Structure 1
Amino acid sequence: MIIVPESEIAALISAQDCFEAVEAVLAAMARDQAVNFPVIREALGHADALYGFKSGFDREAAVLGVKSGGYWPANAARGVANHQSTVLLFDPDTGRPRALVGGNLLTALRTAAAAAVSIRHLARADARVLGIIGAGHQAPFQLRAAAAQHPFERVVAWNRTPERLQGLAEIAAELGLPFEVVSLERLGAEAEVIVTITSSFAAILRDAHLRAGTHIACMGTDTRGKQELEPEILARARVFTDEIAQSISIGEAQHAVAHGMIGPADITAIGAVITGGHPGRCVQDEITLFDGTGIALQDLAVASRVARLARERGVAQQVGV
């Protein structure tokens, strides 16, 4: 078995590597060649922490494994990231452990890659203004990934605390993109692609904010009760997701489903668009929405890519088991 520590990962894998890995595994899911297993997530009753397991198997890529981790809210005061995770990969032929891979950076990269996949396959080709709602740890990854997959010419952004958007402004300048902090009303009116990446438990983006033809990548809702959008948005949008079961239970669609506005049959797995089984955007002026809930197979796909690169470049730590 090899170990790929967190400290090595940034130098090993690129955003493009992650995009390709996530796109490929979503396509494998559409071909019924990859499956996520039930998620376990529990409050520890210690340190206010949430802890859980996500696992799955990609038959096409022969990737089997589990991501273990969670959220420790007091970590920031200790100088440690609040989100902590590790991926363990197994040989699907024997069950023997194959690799132990740090999962913190990979989680951020695969989340951004999933949004970028949705932009590549669902946004209008003529979209030029990117809107970002949120300024937390994940937002810079979203900006970089989106800009790498689509020829945006300008970025507009909103956050409850506007001064926290300075980091995004600096990244936009690095990418050569004009950047402006705007109201939610202006963001909805001007942005042709919107990425929401907050930890909100109440709707932020309103149906009345949106212009025709917008694509929304809703990436913050991954837990029961979380919410970034008015459910009316999903009621009139063409809705896609990484996995329908998670979308309706812990994703953004949970609220529209609970209100009887949409059902599971109204949601399409984005893998079907990647493989050509669904046309994706059917009308230029329709709103498309990607409900990115975060699935185990995405974590396993990028961890497997990292493990392969670590072996090839001689930075993997070999250990006996």
Structure 2
Amino acid sequence: MIIVPEKDIADLMTREAAFAAVEQVFAAMASGDAYNFPVVREAIGHADALYGFKGGFDRLGGVLGLKAGGYWPHNLETHGIINHQSTVFLFDPDTGRVAAMVGGNLLTALRTAAASSVSIRHLAREDAEVLGMIGAGHQAAFQLRAALEHRSFGKVVGWNYHPEMLPNLEKVAAEAGVAFEAVDLPGMREADVIVTITSSFDATLMAEHVAPGTHVACMGTDTKGKQEVDPALLAAATVFADEIAQSVSIGEAQHAVSAGLISESDIAELGAVINGSHPGRRSDEEITLFDGTGVGLQDLAVAAAVVALARANDTAIEVEV
């Protein structure tokens, strides 16, 4: 079994490798070559923690496994470690033997950022110049770095519930040599692409805040009840998802579907655009929206990529099991 500990991930995994892994697995999902297993997510009745499992099998990539982990809300203040904790386990699909154990904390942040960047590449207008950011927390910095690496934006506009956190975004933009401006929510109409990455349970980005032709990547809603955007925005947009079943049950689409504004059949898989079976954006005036709920296959894809990188760099730890 190969072990890649959390401390080694930053030196091995790149945003480019994460992007390639996530893009490939989205295409495999849409073609039926990969599928996710049902998600298990529970409040364990200890430390106010949520714990669960996400897994799947990518037949095309030969990747089988699961991510175990969750959210411990008091970790930072009590133990000095981040609140999200996870580990990825990979298995040999031919024998069922465990093949690898990989630290999943940084990988989760990288794959989430890669997913929004994949959606930007395939759905945003070619002439997109201004990137809007809703949210300025830990994950927002990963989202912004990835977006700026994969598209030449000339300006970033940002909004956050707590404006004092916006310098987090300004710093990332400055490192990339891109201008940054703090705006109120109506100011998001200047953006050609908007990434939402908050933990909100109430809609923040409203339909009137989004101009025609914008691509919106909704990356924060992954639990029943959470919500970042106005359901009317989904009704006005062409909606894509990483996985449709999750989109309508725990993603942004849950609210638009329950309100009768859209149906499950109105949502397309992003992977279908990647593999060419869906045309994606049809006009410069069309609003496109990606509902990124986060699927187990993303975690497995980036974990398999980092194992390959560890082997290539002779840093993989191998143990007998």
Q: TM-score range by the shorter chain?
A: over 0.9
Question: Distance in 2 between the 1:150 and 1:108 partners?
Answer: 19
Q: Equivalent residue for 1:75?
A: 75
Alignment of 1:226-245 (within 5 A): 226-245=226-245
Q: Equivalent residue for 1:40?
A: 40
Q: Equivalent residue for 2:107?
A: 106
Contact 2:67–2:299 (CA under 8 A) maintained in structure 1:
yes
Q: Equivalent residue for 2:140?
A: 139
Question: Distance in 2 between the 1:221 and 1:181 partners?
Answer: 23
Q: Which amino acid is the alignment partner of residue 142 of structure 2? A: F
Contact 2:23–2:118 (CA under 8 A) maintained in structure 1:
yes
Q: Equivalent residue for 1:115?
A: 116
Superposed CA offset, 1:47-84 (max 9, x none) = 00000000000001100000000000000112100000
Alignment of 1:277-288 (within 5 A): 277-288=277-288
Superposed CA offset, 1:126-179 (max 9, x none) = 110000000111001000111111110000000011110112111100100000
| TM-score for both structures, normalised by structure 2 | 0.99
Question: Distance in 2 between the 1:305 and 1:209 partners?
Answer: 38
Q: Which amino acid is the alignment partner of residue 90 of structure 2? A: L
Cα deviation for residue 30 of structure 1 reads: 1.2
Q: Equivalent residue for 1:201?
A: 201
Question: Distance in 2 between the 1:309 and 1:118 partners?
Answer: 25
SS of corresponding position for 1:92: coil
Q: Equivalent residue for 2:149?
A: 148
Cα deviation for residue 31 of structure 1 reads: 1.1
Cα deviation for residue 198 of structure 1 reads: 0.1
Question: Distance in 2 between the 1:210 and 1:32 partners?
Answer: 33
Alignment of 1:1-321 (within 5 A): 1-77=1-77, 78-187=79-188, 189-321=189-321
Q: Which amino acid is the alignment partner of residue 93 of structure 1? A: D
Gapped regions of structure 1 (runs ≥ 5): none
Cα deviation for residue 204 of structure 1 reads: 0.2
SS of corresponding position for 1:212: coil
Q: Which amino acid is the alignment partner of residue 266 of structure 2? A: D
Contact 2:137–2:168 (CA under 8 A) maintained in structure 1:
no
Question: Distance in 2 between the 1:173 and 1:284 partners?
Answer: 29
Superposed CA offset, 1:13-40 (max 9, x none) = 1000000000000001111000000000
Question: Distance in 1 between the 2:238 and 2:283 partners?
Answer: 10
| TM-score for both structures, normalised by structure 1 | 0.99
Question: Distance in 1 between the 2:168 and 2:229 partners?
Answer: 24
SS of corresponding position for 1:138: helix
Q: After the TM superposition, list the runs of 4 or more consecutive aligned residues in structure 1 that deviate by more than 4 angstroms.
A: none
Question: Distance in 1 between the 2:317 and 2:144 partners?
Answer: 32
Aligned-residue sequence identity (percent) comes to 65
SS of corresponding position for 2:177: coil
Superposed CA offset, 1:233-280 (max 9, x none) = 001100000000000000000000000111110000000000000110
Question: Distance in 2 between the 1:120 and 1:235 partners?
Answer: 22
